[in-house]
Amino acid sequence: FEASANPAPGEVAGLPILPRSSCLTLSADSESSPSPSPGGGAASPVLQINNGPSLTGLATIATHLVKQAKKEQLLGKTAEEKAVVQQWLEYRVTQIALPCTKEDTRVILKDLNLYLEDKVYLARNNFTLADILMYYGLHHIIIDLTVQEKEKYLNVSRWFNHIQHYPGIRQHLSSIIFMKNRLFTNA
């Protein structure tokens, strides 16, 4: 398969559940799979499957690959969990994909921090694809946070640190350091 014009190459290629099955082969020719999507096509990754239709969109491709790898649990077990996973995948491609202003970033972190207050993962107690894609999407934001901000968004930090140490997740991305002792009492 091929991921063309991918905004964050590791995001799909780096999936820890990469199928190593033979039904997919890499085609290096990016010209051969023109994006069918109008407008923002250039920004959306396209997956060309041998002899099959192509798939467009980060979340769609990631979901497809997870199924191929028979790791359906990553998409959620119950209907509720599945919907939650889809919701955060959509959040990833609509809210985080865009160039964010400082204010947008603040709101994203604040909301996420509140959301994660009582949850281990985005889908509560289970690690899912939502965690993986959100981790990739947020990496460039988290890496720029100050120590104080990391403490302010404590739950996000806790979650992010947890995900980046998950076997096989981090891939080429740098590991971000989180302090264990709190420096700012008011943060």
Partner 1 sequence: MRLYLSEGSPQGLKVLAAAGASGARVRLERVPPDGHVVPFLTHPRVPALHLDSGTFLFSPNAICQYFFLLAGKEHTDLTSQWLEWEATELQPAVSTALYGHVVQGKKGGEVLGAIRKTLAYIDQSLTSKTTPYLTGEAESVADIVLWATLFPVLQDEFCLPDELQALRSWFRIMNLLEPCRNAVESVLTPKGAEQFKAYLQKQPVSCLHSEKPATNEPEEEELAQRSLSEEEIAAAADAWAKGAAALPERWQPQSPILPVEGRRNVLITSALPYVNNVPHLGNIIGCVLSADVFARYCRLRNWNTLYVCGTDEYGTATETKALEEGLTPQQICDKYNTVHTQIYQWFNISFDYFGRTTTPHQTTIAQEIFHRLLERDVLLTDTVEQLRCERCERFLADRFVEGICPFCNYEEARGDQCDKCGKLINAVELKKPQCKVCKGSPVVKTSQHLFLDLPQLEGRLEQWLEQSWATGDWTANARFITRSWLRDGLKPRCITRDLKWGTPVPLEGFRDKVFYVWFDAPIGYLSITANYTAQWERWWKNPQQVELYNFMAKDNVPFHSVVFPCTLLGAEDNYTLVNHLIATEYLNYEDGKFSKSRGIGVFGDMAQDTGIPADIWRFYLLFLRPEGQDSAFSWHDLLLKNNSELLNNLGNFVNRAGMFVCKFFDGRVPPMELGTDDKRLLAHVTLELRQFNQLLEKVRIRDALRCILSVSRYGNQYIQVNEPWKRIKGPAADRTRAGTVTGVAVNIACLISIMLQPFMPDVSATIQRQLCVPQACNILTDTFLCLLPPGHQIGTVSPLFQKLELDEIEALRQRFGGGQPEDSSLELKTHAAHPSPGARMSPMPGAGSGLARDPQRAKELAEAVTQQGNHVRQLKTSKAEKGQIDAAVATLLELKKQLALAEGKAAEVPAPKGKKKK
Shortest Cβ 151–partner 1 spacing (Å)? 14
Shortest Cβ 44–partner 1 spacing (Å)? 7
- Indicate whether 87 belongs to the interface with partner 1 (CB under 8 A): yes
Nearer Cβ to partner 1, position 81 or 139?
81
DSSP string, 119-130: -SBTBBTB--HH
Nearer Cβ to partner 1, position 14 or 127?
127
Shortest Cβ 92–partner 1 spacing (Å)? 10
Structure tokens at 96: 């985080």
- Indicate whether 125 belongs to the interface with partner 1 (CB under 8 A): yes
Nearer Cβ to partner 1, position 50 or 94?
94
Which amino acid, residue 136?
Answer: Y
Q: CA-CA distance, 64 to 76, in Å (whole number)?
A: 14
* Binding segment (CB under 8 A) for partner 1, from list 3-11, 19-27, 113-121, 134-142: 113-121
DSSP string, 38-105: SSGGGGS-EEEPTTS-EEESHHHHHHHHHHHTT-GGGG-SSHHHHHHHHHHHHHIIIIISSPPPHHHH
Reference 176, options 143, 132, 153, 150; nearest CA is 143
Give 131: exposed, middle or buried? Use CB within 10 Å, 0-12, 13-18, 19+. Answer: buried
Nearer Cβ to partner 1, position 28 or 51?
51
- Indicate whether 98 belongs to the interface with partner 1 (CB under 8 A): yes
Shortest Cβ 165–partner 1 spacing (Å)? 5
Among positions 36, 73, 146, 171, the unique one binding partner 1 when judged by CB under 8 A: 36
Among positions 25, 50, 94, 171, the unique one binding partner 1 when judged by CB under 8 A: 94
